[in-house]
Amino acid sequence: MASQNLRTPGPTPLPSAVRDALARDMINHRGPEFAELMHECVDGLKWAFQTQHDLLILTASGSGGLESIVVNTLSPGDKLLAISIGYFGDRLIAIARAFGVDVVPMRLDDGHAADPQQIADALRADPAIQTVFVTHNETSTGVLNPLEAIARAVKETRPEALLLVDGISSVGSVPLQPEEWGMDVVVAGSQKGWMVPPGLAFVSVSPRALERSAQARLPRSYFDWQAHRRSAERGQTPWTPAVGLFFGLQAGLRLMRDEGLERLFERHRQMAAYTRNGLVELDLRLVADSDHASPTVTTAYVPEGINAKELLEALRSRHDVVLAGGQGRLDGKIIRVAHLGWFDQDDLDEALLALRIELNKVRAADSSSPATARA
């Protein structure tokens, strides 16, 4: 099977070292080999998260990681200020509501980042809020929130509140510093910058978030942090872990260490700028506010009169270039190009060229079609 140029914001392409690791035979997840493997993975994750907080590895995708931050920090009726700048922020709100949390939603228009001042005001207006959720990088719109400033605003306005962060498409590709900035919980997912297939969620948990989880009364079992923490002391997980994905993660982390965090962050920043320029040159309108454009995924509106699904299908079937479409209210309206994990400028050039060819085709057909000309 010919390899595709997979430009979706997860799953991302796998380097051969990771693929070799995924093909390893199984080991006993209650034995010393697994304890050693898990130890190296936890160490590497702490390095990439730039934290000394506890680091838990859940066998679940990112949405399971998000459920874990709700059920471990909140009790029935607790108020949660949940800042959503898109589809995945909305997902966290839906999870929290499903569990009976009293969500105070703060929703921003697509393409815009959250405003630290507005968050501080919302906290001042409601003294009952003791927990705040925010997305770091909104994968559905390609917007990077100003997380350091948001964390500062929360800390200054309500120092005792916990700050929970969805870092699923940022951690490992974009800098963040849990302790220095003041983030209690950060979730990530294996299929993003880690260059590993989906199936693992990573959660960094501060000491006071762990304390909170010992008291929190939402029902939980599979995602219970306390159970994970107890098992971690023996180099195990409470439930059978996705052993093969741990092998892949070990290999991916080694590659990341070889590249180095700073170079890795810089590569993502540069390639994001390159992609934005490339899309603008194709006369596409970008979704994200340019001050808050994501280093890992770039989004653009599909021009009027062009069918997004047909465009994506043409790219896939004729060029082996796989972009992502829009989600929720942006379904059919935007395309998303990921520059995340294992890729280089050639992959982006190929994707941009394919896009140019297909857009030109449709535009040429449009301008020559009397029906369209009338419309």
Among 37, 49, 62, 143, binds its own copies (CB under 8 A): 62
Site for its own copies in 296-325 (CB under 8 A): 316, 322, 324-325
C-alpha to C-alpha distance for 231 and 369, rounded to whole angstroms: 66
Q: Which amino acid is at 123?
A: L
User: Is residue 46 close enough to count as binding its own copies by CB under 8 A?
Assistant: no
Q: How far is the CB of 79 from its own copies (least distance, A)?
A: 17
Among 117, 240, 270, 277, binds its own copies (CB under 8 A): 240
C-alpha to C-alpha distance for 339 and 9, rounded to whole angstroms: 8
Q: How far is the CB of 170 from its own copies (least distance, A)?
A: 16
Q: Which is nearer to its own copies, 51 or 139 (CB)?
A: 139
Start-end of H helices in the chain: 16-22, 32-49, 62-73, 87-98, 116-125, 147-157, 178-181, 207-215, 225-232, 243-259, 261-281, 308-319, 345-368, 370-374
Closest C-alpha among 178, 184, 161 to residue 104: 161
User: Is residue 252 close enough to count as binding its own copies by CB under 8 A?
Assistant: no
Site for its own copies in 18-37 (CB under 8 A): 19-20, 22-31
Give the interface segment with its own copies, choosing from 44-52, 124-132, 190-198, 204-212 (CB under 8 A).
190-198
User: Is residue 61 close enough to count as binding its own copies by CB under 8 A?
Assistant: yes
C-alpha to C-alpha distance for 123 and 357, rounded to whole angstroms: 50
The HSE-up count of residue 30 (CA atoms within 13 Å, CB side) is 3
User: Is residue 346 close enough to count as binding its own copies by CB under 8 A?
Assistant: no
Q: Which amino acid is at 207?
A: P
Per CB under 8 A, residues contacting its own copies are: 1, 3-4, 6, 8, 10-14, 19-20, 22-31, 59-64, 67, 94-95, 98-100, 189, 191, 197-199, 218-224, 238-245, 248, 316, 322, 324-325
